[in-house]
Amino acid sequence: MASDNLAASDLFEKPLIMTVLRNALLLVSVFATLSACGGTQEEPPPPPVRPVKLFTVEGAGGEALRRFPGAISASQRAELSFRVNGTLQKILVKEGDRVKKDQVLARLDPTDYKIRVSDRQATFDKASKNFARAKELIQDGTISQSDYDRVEANFRTSEAALKLANQELAYTELRAPFTGAIGRREVDNFEEVQAKQAIFQLQNVDQLDVAIDLSENLVRSIRRAEQAGSVSESQASRVVESYASFEGKEGDKFPLTIKEVSTKADPQTQTFRVTFTMPQPKDFAVLPGMTANVFLDLSQVISTDTAKWVPISAVVADSELDARVWVLDDKTMTVTERAVKIGRMSGGNIEVSSGLVGGEEIVSVGAAYLAEGMQVSRMILTEQAEPRADDPS
């Protein structure tokens, strides 16, 4: 009887134990799954960094000394060519040679032109003798006045033709119009050349031109000072002190003199070409086509109290339609909104009468898609700011 009770007990306890074990395994599986899910949970992505194009506001006191890239060219340069057609007989100079004024650089074959001179000389001699006899005959009344006039006209015509033939013969020699250096030779010996075809590029490298491009803001400041009488043409170089430096000679300053200022902006860049002159340095050679760094001291023509001019795209409006610009903190590369007052527009720029002191970097492309404290990066020159999918319209 006892054995029967034990068997019955075993029959009831075994399913219970199996159920408990099954439930325990199920709980372990659930906890393992939850633990695995928690371990693979990703961190939220960092806020996006928007590339923007920046513009430096003119007029900061600490920015009075500005640096600009300059292009070197010869102050005096000319493209030399013959004034008559012919076969190139002799080239007398090489590229890089120094030449003096009126030095013969090349010659054409003069044979045809000498023959023409001989022909015109014979015609002139005959006309000259006829004219001399006509002078005697007109005094005696032997010939009429009309015959005398005809003989005189023939003489004058033959005289002019002879002068022209001699001049064309002289043009078979190409001479240097000024002292300089041969920058480039365009032809070779024995070529058939045409009148006005380029033969040499002649440059006077004793005096050099250095050209830079200035923004509308700077040119306007200089012009305003001129109109006020504080800057004249003769004083311009003293008021706007300038000097050049060259690679390998960064410690040396080469004074510049203002030569000319363009009054028409480049249609692509909206900048104005300013040309300076300088003598050729004595201790090293500077050649046309080289580059230089041009430094301008603009402290006497830029005032921090004057209005600033910024690109129109840099100014945006808030919900109250008040003008705002985004100012960059270059240490954190974040932007901050700043209220400004705007005025006139000129070309692609707009006047800011207050809110900017000068020297700030403001966003000029991409300003419409920024928020307070947003991180930005400097846009490379070929990159454009485009709206993102999540930007407000």
Say what the pLDDT of residue 385 is.
Answer: 46
117 token code pair: 């001179």
The domains found in the chain, sorted by start residue, are: 52-60+306-378 (2.40.420.20), 61-74+203-297 (2.40.30.170), 81-200 (2.40.50.100)
Say what the pLDDT of residue 21 is.
Answer: 54
pLDDT greater at residue 380 or residue 83: 83
Using the predicted structure, report yes or no on whether residue 382 has a pLDDT greater than 80: no
What does the buried/exposed string (b/e) look like for 277-308 if buried means 16 or more CB atoms within 10 Å of the residue's CB? ebebeeeeebebeeebbbbbebebbbeeebbb
- Tell me the pLDDT of the chain averaged across its residues: 82
Distance CA 49, CA 334 (A): 9
Q: How confident is the model at residue 384 (pLDDT cuts 50, 70, 90)?
A: very low
Name the 3-class secondary structure at 172.
coil
Say what the pLDDT of residue 60 is.
Answer: 54
With beta carbons less than 8 A apart as the criterion, state whether 350 and 315 touch: yes
Say what the pLDDT of residue 125 is.
Answer: 97
pLDDT greater at residue 228 or residue 148: 148
If you ran DSSP here, which 8-state letter would residue 177 be given?
Answer: S
Say what the pLDDT of residue 62 is.
Answer: 47
Q: Which of 99-113, 213-227, 308-322 is the most confident on average?
A: 99-113
Q: Strands of 308-311's sheet, edge to edge?
A: 308-311, 349-354, 341-346
Kindly compute the dihedral angle of the four CA atoms of residues 215, 217, 218, 219, in this order, to the nearest 10 degrees.
Answer: 80
Distance CA 240, CA 258 (A): 9
- Radius of gyration of the chain, Cα coordinates, nearest whole angstrom: 43
If you ran DSSP here, which 8-state letter would residue 375 be given?
Answer: B
Q: What is the 3-state secondary structure (H, E, C) of 220-238?
A: HHHHHHHHCCCCCCCCHHH
The DSSP secondary structure of 35-66, one letter per residue, reads HHHHHTPPPPPPPPPEEEEEEEPS--GGG-EE
Q: Which residues pair with 338 in a beta bridge?
A: 325
pLDDT greater at residue 390 or residue 191: 191
What percentage of residues in the chain have a pLDDT greater than 70?
Answer: 76
Q: How confident is the model at residue 324 (pLDDT cuts 50, 70, 90)?
A: very high
Range 49-56 average pLDDT = 86
Using the predicted structure, report yes or no on whether residue 213 has a pLDDT greater than 50: yes
Give per-residue pLDDT as tens, 137-182.
998 888 999 999 999 999 999 999 999 999 999 999 999 999 999 9
Give the helix/strand (H/E) hosting 374: none
What percentage of residues in the chain have a pLDDT greater than 90?
Answer: 47
Say what the pLDDT of residue 56 is.
Answer: 83
Say what the pLDDT of residue 299 is.
Answer: 73
Distance CA 211, CA 166 (A): 43
Using the predicted structure, report yes or no on whether residue 292 has a pLDDT greater than 70: yes
Give per-residue pLDDT as tens, 249-287.
878 899 999 888 888 888 877 789 989 999 999 888 898
